[in-house]
Structure 1
Amino acid sequence: MTDHMQQPIMTVARTDVATLHEAFTVQQALDDIRSRGLGERIVYFYVVDADGALVGVVPTRRLLIAPLEQRLSEVMIRRVVTISAEATVLDALEAFAIHRLLAFPVVDRHRRILGVVDVGLFSDEVFDLTERERMGEVFEAIGFRVSQVRDVSPLRAFRFRFPWLTATIASGTVCALLVSAFEVTLAQALVLAFFLTLVLGLGESVSIQSMTVAIHALRSTRPTLRWYVSAFRRELGTALLLGAACGLTVGAVVWLWRGAAVEAVAIGSSLVLTLAAASLFGLSVPTLLHALRLDPKIAAGPVTLALADVCTIVIYFMLATALLR
């Protein structure tokens, strides 16, 4: 299996690439397609300039519903994810697992298209392109195959995962600096230091819960603004209830243990706000990564926790400082 994964991508790429000139109108593009005919299943039409270099891509559906007089340069998507001709089959598998596109053009260093790789080449399953949930399972299977191969190379796995962990390192440094800025507040109420870890832990737990729910939903749902607003309202309502319950419980513990009423209110109130913010990050980060065609399973955790920690520190100490004056 490993030997096959290291083969050049051009050994499996198709050469029946559907290319269209950027100066074409939609009508001219359709006429050109009819005159040439289509090869195997065509998912995307790639747009090239006068030199044959790739400049954009037009999904089939977008081409069919666009006004006939509109030019392809106005319809196409300019940001095209490509695979280098020097890439391996393993690199292509990784691209499918991360970006979740149905096909990628293989280009040379001048961005001229040499071929195309289709997701069907890497899946033994027969699937309907309209079944988004089924497609999600296909991409998950591809991702699992990539992880199996990546496991044999710790260095490559390190290079893939470590950059996202720098978000945790950066947030930890920022949190340390923020805490040092509130030395006076800590000196006034040492009990704040005792419960800081608890507040951070609760914020991280809620953010992870929201993130897990979001990632699962994104496997079978195309995110839209309406979907995001609906999901956010649901998560926010849950987070406020959790925050109120945790805030009352922890506040009571602080008051009964230390007899510090102001500090109890500060800690309890901060939990309500931090858990609400944590739910926002837990939902928003995976959604944004999905929109950018990055893998939420790898990147969402470190980024979400980093944002939740920094936000928790700011809310916790700013609220305590305001109430202790």
Structure 2
Amino acid sequence: MSETDLSNYKDDRERSESELDEGDRLKPEFVRAVLDAVEEGDAEAAYDRVEPLHPADIADLIELTPAEQRPALVDAVGSLIDGEVLSEMNDWVREALIESLDPHQVAGMAAELDTDDAVAIIGDMEEADQQAVLDALPPDDRAAIEEALSYPEESAGRLMQRELIAVPEHWTVGDVLDYLRGGDDLTSDFWEIFIVDPGHRPVGTCQLSWILRTPRIVSMTDVMKREQTLIPVDMDQEEVALRFQKYALISAAVIDAAGRLVGQITVDDIVHIISEEAGEDILRLSGAGEGDINEPIRLAVRTRLSWLIVNLATAILASAVVDMFQAQIAAFALLAVLMPIVSGMGGNAGTQTLAVVVRALATNQLTDSNTWWMVARELRIAAANGAALGTVTGIGSFLIYGNAPLSLVFAAAMVINNLAAGLGGVIVPLTLDRFRVDPAVSSAVFVTTLTDVMGFFSFLGLATLFSVSP
């Protein structure tokens, strides 16, 4: 790099960093300045401001732009929007942007990317648009992407890259070095080399650093590491992420049903998967769907409303329990004041247990071998919390109302509902998981219903049983 190029690079780098705040987010004043330039018709000024940005920051800029202003911004900085920018973009924003592009433009962008990124972009398109883009791709790229799209969504086959370095097991280190230096069409981004047998099955791996530090005459079978983590092509991406986390992997070989090497997965892809899966579980627990701020309003309303209707049905069930004790509530109105506390605290306790169990299932911490230990553990925690809350609420209600039987019933109901919350918070997600239902999707509805019903029933039932009165 010449001194001029180096100086220009430093200037661009400093300028790019000046547009970001301490959290590496685009500053509001920068976004406003770019949009003002676009609105004023000064496309050159907008382009000059955006050009030094990293592709991920350009994607952020487009996402931060109101939907009605995005077409004008894209027109102004269109040549800066390449495949890498598309791969960094939010799915909903990218889908809308791709719809406005010619299939040949999308194909050109996809051809610049690794296979996994190209698949992520093309896989989200409508079938007709998808086929148009595939038809515009070079034959080799089209064949690789079509093969990837044939695998299930969120599987290793969709996630893997075809671009890798694989060498025969009979080669020496010198053979590999000559191959790497002479192969102009080889991928330039890799951390390790895969060693394969004549059937193209991986028999070992070798880090690039080992090859650089080993004499040329040494055989690859002598320097390679034979123990490796192989990823089946149909493995779910969440399980792939767990393997990377457990074994501290940087990359891993992906194999087909015959054990042949067909691709690799690298840790940069896994970082995105871990983030996505964690966010999905949280949003599913709340019934908020994808929860993306760029999601169309109509779809967001439909997703959330469906769960709210389910919650309405469970609320009616809880109210039916209350209806059974109308006479007792009418005779002693104070029961109506205290019973929401019992159900509310039980719901909070159940949510805590549920969050712990769903996470343990997602990370493989909870398996068949320690299920009953987990149940016993959560029951002990629930009993301790219930006893503490029951003591506090019982004493508090006695000091306020001076009714000893009511205070004892209040405390006992608090203990009972906390035990129900602890048991339900474990049993419900375990049962759903056993029946192959994602526990993050519907566990919260069942646990909340359980704690509401048990809270009302235990408190009002005990008050009726012991004839609690003013």
TM-score tier by shorter-chain length is: 0.5 to 0.7
- How do 1:239-250 and structure 2 match up within 5 A? 239-250=382-393
CA distance in 2, matches of 1:152, 1:203: 33
Is 1:189 aligned to residue 332 of structure 2? Answer: yes
CA contact (8 A) 1:167 1:306 kept: no
Structure 1 position 262, deviation (Å): 1.1
Is 1:207 aligned to residue 344 of structure 2? Answer: no
Q: Runs (4+) of structure 1 moved beyond 6 Å?
A: 15-18
CA contact (8 A) 2:357 2:366 kept: no
CA distance in 2, matches of 1:16, 1:193: 58
Superposed CA offset, 1:86-123 (max 9, x none): xxxxxxxxxx78xx577xxxxxxxxxxxxxxxxx99x7
2:125 is aligned to 6
Unaligned runs of 5+ residues in structure 1 are 19-35, 45-58, 60-95, 103-119, 129-133
CA contact (8 A) 1:246 1:271 kept: yes
Is 1:235 aligned to residue 368 of structure 2? Answer: no
One-letter amino acid of the counterpart of residue 281, structure 1: G
CA contact (8 A) 2:395 2:407 kept: yes
CA contact (8 A) 2:420 2:450 kept: no
1:262 is aligned to 405
CA pair 247-126 structure 1, distance change in 2 beyond 3 A: same
CA distance in 2, matches of 1:142, 1:201: 25
One-letter amino acid of the counterpart of residue 258, structure 1: Y
Structure 1 position 292, deviation (Å): 4.1
2:298 is aligned to 155
CA distance in 2, matches of 1:149, 1:164: 17
RMSD of aligned C-alpha atoms? 4.1
- The partner residue of 2:320 within 177, 181, 188 is 177
1:140 is aligned to 277
CA pair 163-265 structure 1, distance change in 2 beyond 3 A: same
CA distance in 1, matches of 2:437, 2:273: 14
CA contact (8 A) 1:191 1:263 kept: no
Name the count of aligned residue pairs: 234
- The partner residue of 1:271 within 408, 411, 414 is 414
**TM-score of the two chains, using structure 2 as the length reference:** 0.42
Structure 1 position 255, deviation (Å): 1.7
CA distance in 1, matches of 2:292, 2:333: 51
CA distance in 2, matches of 1:136, 1:173: 38
Superposed CA offset, 1:11-45 (max 9, x none): 65528989xxxxxxxxxxxxxxxxx999x97545x
Structure 1 position 289, deviation (Å): 3.5
One-letter amino acid of the counterpart of residue 137, structure 1: I
Specify the structure having the higher radius of gyration (Cα): 2
CA distance in 2, matches of 1:299, 1:271: 25
Superposed CA offset, 1:183-206 (max 9, x none): 122134322111112112111110
Structure 1 position 135, deviation (Å): 11
Is 1:323 aligned to residue 442 of structure 2? Answer: no
Higher mean alpha-carbon deviation, 265-274 vs 193-202, is at 193-202
Unaligned runs of 5+ residues in structure 2 are 1-93, 99-120, 135-144, 152-198, 202-229, 241-261, 282-288
2:53 is aligned to none
Structure 1 position 275, deviation (Å): 0.5
1:217 is aligned to 360
Structure 1 position 207, deviation (Å): 0.6
Superposed CA offset, 1:252-299 (max 9, x none): 122222221111111110110000001112222333334444444443
One-letter amino acid of the counterpart of residue 314, structure 2: S
- How do 1:26-175 and structure 2 match up within 5 A? 42-43=232-233, 125=267, 137=274, 140=277, 143=280, 147=290, 151-175=294-318
CA pair 166-225 structure 1, distance change in 2 beyond 3 A: farther
Is 1:286 aligned to residue 429 of structure 2? Answer: yes
CA contact (8 A) 1:150 1:157 kept: no
CA distance in 2, matches of 1:219, 1:244: 30
CA distance in 2, matches of 1:16, 1:269: 57
CA pair 295-161 structure 1, distance change in 2 beyond 3 A: farther
CA pair 101-166 structure 1, distance change in 2 beyond 3 A: farther
Residue aligned with 1:316, SS: helix
CA pair 41-280 structure 1, distance change in 2 beyond 3 A: closer
CA distance in 2, matches of 1:141, 1:211: 15
